[in-house]
Structure 1
C-alpha cells in the first residue's frame, strides 16, 4: 500500500513554540516526510504538578532537557481523541510527558491508511516533534497496528534524530497477512474489499488506501533483530481475539536470537490492544517507559 505525496516539508500549526510554556497542552499539525498532514497532541507530565497546579518539571519554561516523552501510537481505526487512547495517555502522563497523534487516514489526519506501512513516517514526525520540544529521551509505545509500527520504526530510524530510546509493542502482530482468527479475517475484508473500505470510512472513521503494498514492508519479526541494543518490551494478552500467543513469542525469540532479549509480559485475561489494557497494566507500562 502507498499514500500520495503532498510535498516534503515539516510544519507545526501552532504559534511560536518558544513562546508557549511547556506546562501547556499543545495541539499541532505535523507534516511527514512524504507530505501527509498529521494531527498531534503534546501533554506535559503530571508527575511534577503541585496541588496548586504549578508545573515544576525540568525544562518547564526553558530549552533545557524536559525529561522523557512517551510517543503513543494507536491501533487500526483509533485516533488521538478516542477514549481508550486518551485513557492510556493520561495514565502515561503520571510518569512522563506524552505525545499522542492520529495515523494517516485516522481522526483529523490527512492521507489514507496503509495499515502499518508508511505509518512509520507518521511516528517519525511525532518523535522529532517531541525532541524539538526539548525532550532528550523519547520512547515509543504502540498498540496492535501501532505496535507493528513502533517495531519497524525502531529498526529503520535507529541512529537518526527520529530514533526511539526504548520501545514497547502491545498486542502487535509478528508477521503480515495473518488470517488465523475470525477477527483478523474481518480486518482483511475491511482493508481489501471496496465495500469493506466503505465500511471503514463511514462506519469506522478510517480512510484506507486501496493500493496493495509494493514492496511489502519489513515484517515486525524481521525488524526486531535490528532494534538491538535499544530496550524492547513485548506485551500481549492471553485472550487476544486477533493474534494468538505465537505472535509475541515469535517477536521475543527474534530479539533473543539477536543477542538482546526483549522483556515479554503475557497478561492473563487481557484481550486486544488499548481497549483491553487495564489501569494497572497502563501504570506498569508507564513506569517501564519512563525509567532511564
Structure 2
C-alpha cells in the first residue's frame, strides 16, 4: 500500500438527484470511485454539513451508519459515503491509509453544495481517517474542515493487544482472511503492506489545532483500551469524552451520544 500523496485535490462528482436526497459517485485524487449520499437537515435551516466516516467493513448502507445519519440530520445536513473497497465503492481498502483521499473527496463535495461550515466525524478506522485528514489538509481551502470528532479510534498502528484486533490483523494480512473479508463482509482489502507507513493518529493530533477536536471512546471498547483515547487527547488540544458502558464505534453509539456529538459539532 502506498501512502497518501501530498498533491492538490482533484475529486469530481456526478449527482443523481431525488427529492431532498442526492446520491453521487465521487472521484478521488487517485482515481477511485466512491459512492456517497447527501441528506438535508430535517429540522431548522443550517449552514453546517456533517461528513460521516464509517468503520472498517462498514458502508453507506449499513444500519448503524444509517441510524447515525438519521440522528445527525436533525442537527445539520449529512454526507455519508463508503470507503474504497467497501460497499459499492471501487478500489481496495488500505485500512486507513489512502482512505484519507476518500474523505477529502466527500469534504470537497460538501463544500460544493454551498454550506459555510463542514465538519467531520469518524468511527474506528474512520476515526483515524478524520484525524489524519484534518492534519494533512488543514491548510487547503478545498478540503479544510471546521471541527473534528473521532470516535473509538486507535492511537497507534499495528495494535494487537486485544483478541478482536488480532482477528482484524488476520483478516487484513492473510490471503484466507482477505477472502473472508471479500465474501463475508463485502470488503475488498489491498494485499500489499504500507510503504511508507502513514502518519499515525497520535502523530496527527498536534497538527490539527486550531481546529476544534473531540475524542470519544467507550470504557468497554473490546478493540482499543482506554490508553488509546488518552494518548490521542494528550497529544494536542482536544476534548475527551470517556463513555461509561459503551463498546466500539457506530454499532455501540446510542442515540443520546449521537445527539451530543452532533450538538458539539454544530456549536464549534
Asked whether the two chains share a fold, i.e. TM above 0.5, the reply is yes
Query: Which of residues 136, 148, 153 in structure 2 aligns to 1:172?
Result: 153
> Distance in 1 between the 2:2 and 2:62 partners?
25
Q: CA deviation at 1:118?
A: 0.1
Match of 2:171? 190
Indicate the residue corresponding to 1:14 in structure 2. 15
Q: Which has the higher strand share?
A: 2
Aligned with 1:45 (options 41, 46, 52): 41
User: Is the Cα contact below 8 Å between 2:157 and 2:200 reproduced in 1?
Assistant: yes
Q: Displacement, 1:2?
A: 3.9
Alpha-carbon distance in structure 2 between the residues aligned to 1:194 and 1:90: 37
Alpha-carbon contact 2:148-2:212 (below 8 Å) kept: yes
In structure 1, the residue matched to 2:81 is 101
Deviation of 1:206 (Å): 0.2
Matches of residues 111-122 of structure 1 in structure 2 within 5 Å? 111-122=91-102
Pairing 1:129-148 to 2, within 5 Å after superposition: 129-148=109-128
1:224 matches 2:205: yes
Cα distance in structure 2, aligned partners of 1:131 and 1:11 = 12
Provide the residue aligned with 1:204 in structure 2: 185
**Is 1:126 aligned to residue 106 of structure 2?**
yes
- Give 1:35's match in structure 2, choosing from 20, 31, 39: 31
Q: Partner of 2:246 in structure 1?
A: 270
Q: How far 1:230 sits from its partner (Å)? A: 0.4
Aligned-pair Cα RMSD in Å? 1.6
Question: Match of 2:90?
Answer: 110
State the TM-score, normalizing by the size of structure 2.
Answer: 0.95
Contact 2:11–2:29 (CA under 8 A) maintained in structure 1: yes
- List gaps (5 residues or longer) in structure 2: 4-8
Question: How many residue pairs were aligned?
Answer: 263
Per-residue CA distance 1:122-157 (angstroms, 9 max, x = gap)? 000000000000012100000000000000000000
Partner of 1:70: 50
SS class of match (1:38)? strand
Give, in angstroms, the shift of residue 9 of structure 1: 5.2
Residue deviations 1:96-116, cap 9 Å, x none? 000000000001000000000
The whole-number CA distance in structure 2 between the counterparts of 1:214 and 1:163 is 26
CA distance in 1, matches of 2:2, 2:188: 13
Structure 1: give runs of 5+ residues left out of the alignment.
Answer: 49-56, 58-65, 256-260
CA contact (8 A) 1:141 1:169 kept: yes
CA deviations over 1:42-78 (Å, ceiling 9, x no partner): 0000112xxxxxxxx2xxxxxxxx6000000000000
Residues 273-288 of structure 1 mapped to structure 2, 5 A cutoff: 273-288=249-264
Compute the TM-score of the two structures, normalised by the length of structure 1. Answer: 0.87
1:290 is aligned to 266
Structure 2 counterpart SS, 1:142: strand
Shift of 1:291: 1.1
Mapping of 1:223-242 within 5 angstroms? 223-242=204-223
